[in-house]
Structure 1
Amino acid sequence: MATGVSPEVIPGASRSIPTLPEAAQVLAEEIGSSGTPESLAAAERLKKLPDTPVSAQEALETAEQFGVGAHSGKHMSEAMKTLEAMDTWHRASQAAPGRLLIGDDVGDGRYDPNITDEWLIGGAGGAAIANAEIILEANPNAQVTMVGGQAPWVLSNDAQYLALRQKHDREHGGDGRLSVHNARLEAVEMTHAPDGSPRFHAAGHTGGAYVACLGRISRAPKVLDPMSDWCRENGGEVSGRLVTNETGQYLGYELNYKTEQQEMKTMVTGAASRMLPTDLFTKKQQGEVNDMGEIEAPEESGNVAAGFMATAIQGSHLKQNRQQANSLNLPTPPTAPRKITRNSPNPSIERD
Structure 2
Amino acid sequence: MITEAGDAAMPESTGRPVSIMIGGGPAALARPVGALLVDDCGGLFHRGVLGYLGHSPDQLRDLNRCGFDPYAYAAPMGRVPTTAVRMWLDQLATSGPLLNGTAELAVDEERRLVAVIHPAGAPDPVMVDVEGIPTLAPGLPPQFVPGTGPALHSFNWAASVLLTDLIRMRPAASELTAAVADVLNQRGSSPAEVLALLDRADPVLLAPVTAPIEAIRAFAAFLRATKDAAGRLCFGDALVYGQLAVTAADSWIVAGGGDHALATAEALLTGNPAARVTVVAAAIETAAVNTARYSDLRSRHTADGGGDGRLEFRTGAEPGPITLTGTGRFTEGGVEADGYAASIGRARVLPLAVGRLARWARQARGLVTGTLLFDTDLQYLGYRLHFAAEGLLHQVDVTGAASWFLPADVFPAEQARRVELMGRRAVPPESGVTPTDLLPVAEQGARLAAARRQGAVRETDTVPERWVPTA
TM-score with structure 2 length normalisation? 0.63
Coordinate RMSD, CA, aligned: 2.8
Q: Secondary structure at the match of 2:458?
A: coil
Q: Letter of the aligned partner of 1:43 in structure 2?
A: A
**CA shift for structure 1 position 173:** 1.8
Query: CA distance change for structure 1 residues 39 and 152 in 2, over 3 Å: closer, same or farther?
Result: closer
Cα contact 1:69–1:77 (8 A) shared by 2:
no
Q: Secondary structure at the match of 1:190?
A: coil
Residue in structure 2 matched with residue 98 of structure 1 by the alignment: 231
Cα contact 1:49–1:55 (8 A) shared by 2:
no
Range with bigger deviation, 211-220 or 138-147: 211-220
Query: CA distance change for structure 1 residues 16 and 254 in 2, over 3 Å: closer, same or farther?
Result: closer
Gaps of 5+ in 2: 1-135
Q: Letter of the aligned partner of 2:140 in structure 1?
A: V
Residue 88 (structure 1) aligned with residue 214 (structure 2): no
Residue in structure 2 matched with residue 348 of structure 1 by the alignment: none
Cα contact 2:404–2:420 (8 A) shared by 1:
yes
Q: Letter of the aligned partner of 2:214 in structure 1?
A: K
Residue 184 (structure 1) aligned with residue 318 (structure 2): yes
Determine what percentage of the aligned residue pairs are the same residue. Answer: 30
- Separation (CA, whole Å) in 1 of partners of 2:242 and 2:193: 31
Query: CA distance change for structure 1 residues 30 and 157 in 2, over 3 Å: closer, same or farther?
Result: closer
Cα contact 2:144–2:347 (8 A) shared by 1:
yes
Gaps of 5+ in 1: 344-352
Q: How does 1:24-173 map to 2 (within 5 A)?
A: 24-29=159-164, 33=170, 40=178, 43=181, 46=184, 55-61=190-196, 63=198, 67-68=200-201, 71-173=204-306
Q: Secondary structure at the match of 1:160?
A: helix
- Separation (CA, whole Å) in 1 of partners of 2:326 and 2:182: 39
Residue in structure 1 matched with residue 147 of structure 2 by the alignment: 12
Q: Letter of the aligned partner of 1:239 in structure 2?
A: T
Residue in structure 1 matched with residue 459 of structure 2 by the alignment: 335
Q: How does 1:304-319 map to 2 (within 5 A)?
A: 304-319=434-449
Cα contact 1:12–1:186 (8 A) shared by 2:
yes
Cα contact 2:183–2:194 (8 A) shared by 1:
no
Residue 269 (structure 1) aligned with residue 399 (structure 2): yes
**CA shift for structure 1 position 234:** 1.1
Range with bigger deviation, 214-223 or 22-31: 22-31
Q: Letter of the aligned partner of 2:356 in structure 1?
A: P
Q: Secondary structure at the match of 1:340?
A: helix
Query: CA distance change for structure 1 residues 69 and 246 in 2, over 3 Å: closer, same or farther?
Result: farther
Cα contact 1:122–1:213 (8 A) shared by 2:
yes
Alignment partner of 1:239 out of 356, 364, 369: 369
Query: CA distance change for structure 1 residues 80 and 303 in 2, over 3 Å: closer, same or farther?
Result: same
Query: CA distance change for structure 1 residues 141 and 265 in 2, over 3 Å: closer, same or farther?
Result: same
- Separation (CA, whole Å) in 1 of partners of 2:332 and 2:390: 51
Residue in structure 1 matched with residue 100 of structure 2 by the alignment: none
Range with bigger deviation, 214-223 or 201-210: 214-223
**CA shift for structure 1 position 303:** 0.8
Q: Letter of the aligned partner of 1:306 in structure 2?
A: T
Cα contact 1:14–1:81 (8 A) shared by 2:
no
Cα deviation code 1:6-29 (max 9, x no counterpart):
221211225663432332113323
- Separation (CA, whole Å) in 2 of partners of 1:36 and 1:238: 28
TM-score with structure 1 length normalisation? 0.83
- Separation (CA, whole Å) in 1 of partners of 2:354 and 2:192: 25
Residue in structure 2 matched with residue 2 of structure 1 by the alignment: 137
Q: Letter of the aligned partner of 1:25 in structure 2?
A: S
Residue in structure 1 matched with residue 90 of structure 2 by the alignment: none
**CA shift for structure 1 position 269:** 0.8
Cα contact 1:70–1:80 (8 A) shared by 2:
no
Residue in structure 2 matched with residue 346 of structure 1 by the alignment: none
Residue 281 (structure 1) aligned with residue 411 (structure 2): yes
Cα contact 1:169–1:177 (8 A) shared by 2:
yes
**CA shift for structure 1 position 164:** 0.7
Higher helix share: 1
Aligned length: 328
Query: CA distance change for structure 1 residues 39 and 16 in 2, over 3 Å: closer, same or farther?
Result: closer
**CA shift for structure 1 position 301:** 2.1
